[in-house]
Structure 1
Amino acid sequence: MGRGKLVIQRIDNTTSRQVTFSKRRSGLIKKARELSILCDAQVGLIIFSSTGKLYEFANTNMRSVIERYHNTHDCVLQPIPADDLKFWQREAAQLRHQLQLLEESHRKLMGEDLSNLSIKDLQSLENQLEASLKGVRTQKDQLLANEITDLKRNGGLTRQENIELYQKLHIVKQENSDLRKKLNGTYKEHQAYQQPHKSISVQSDRYIPVRLQLSQPQPLNIDASARTTTKLGLQLH
């Protein structure tokens, strides 16, 4: 269920009145801050509680807001003299006329509303367009020349960097070549050092004496031979 409609009147309960004041004050300051940010407005808020405590908010400076308020309020309250009023009316009329002329000139420059112009007016408009086009081309050529100069300078710097990198690469290749030569020389010396030892070991292996061990003859079991002979004789009979 939604809350009932709140009656806007003084709250008699002191505690409820203080709680409502605190909540509404925070919400009001929040809204003032959002208004100043979203709408780029200069906001000044002054609140006095029932106990006389001051609460304020200003997105710039409270003193400047108050001074601006007084100046604006004084200007609004002071009546404008009739002469000044006529002067500002004439100024407004002149500004409106100048604005109308500028709009017509702009339409003509865009190629619109040319039917009422004479040959002299068209020639003047053409000269004006040519002068404007010349200025535009001059500015464009200047910008292109500046860009070409920057590109040439950057190209020279890039070329110099490439030369330095090529020199560094050549030095690294030379160091790698020297290191490879040193490694090959060390490997050959190592091979030459190991070759005599291998030949000596092969020759020494040829004259290694071979030790042979003769097994002792096994004694003949006479009893077993006699029994075998007796059995064979019985079988023959």
Structure 2
Amino acid sequence: MGRGKIVIKRIDNSTSRQVTFSKRRNGLLKKARELSILCEAEVGLIVFSSSGRLYDFASSSMKSVIERYKQLKEEHHQLLTPDSEVKEQIFTEEIKELNRKGNLVHQENLELHKKVCEEREVNEANKRSNSLHTISNGYDIHRAIHLQISLHQPQNNEA
């Protein structure tokens, strides 16, 4: 039977928190060491406890790991600066233009919806007024029946 999942939040009990920190810190340091050995990775790990105590691991020297990190971070920043700013500006302008077009389409949609609703209301009103003045023929209630009135002439019995 496996362990249950725990909720990742601050542990309120200070003793339990310290025990958990110690166990997880040791596990993290062990994983960093295994990663460097198994994969020939250059690993540097720095952990400060809540009391300010330092724990660290470096596969070579921590100074060389930090220098390599700074160098790659600087190169990455330089790669992003010249061309990326121009490309980023182009994307930003395209996004603004697409948003503007989207707003226009939305406004057109609202106007069309309003127009359709108004036409529907007019049609319904016309149907109601027409149905008051027509007689149903049993099939189509909107079709008018044309009646002719003829005068009844009395029959003369004398003849």
TM-score normalised per structure 2:
0.49
Q: Which has the higher contact order (CA 8 A, sep 6+)?
A: 2
- Scaled by the length of structure 1, what TM-score is found? 0.33
Between Structure 1 and Structure 2, which shows a larger proportion of helix residues? 1
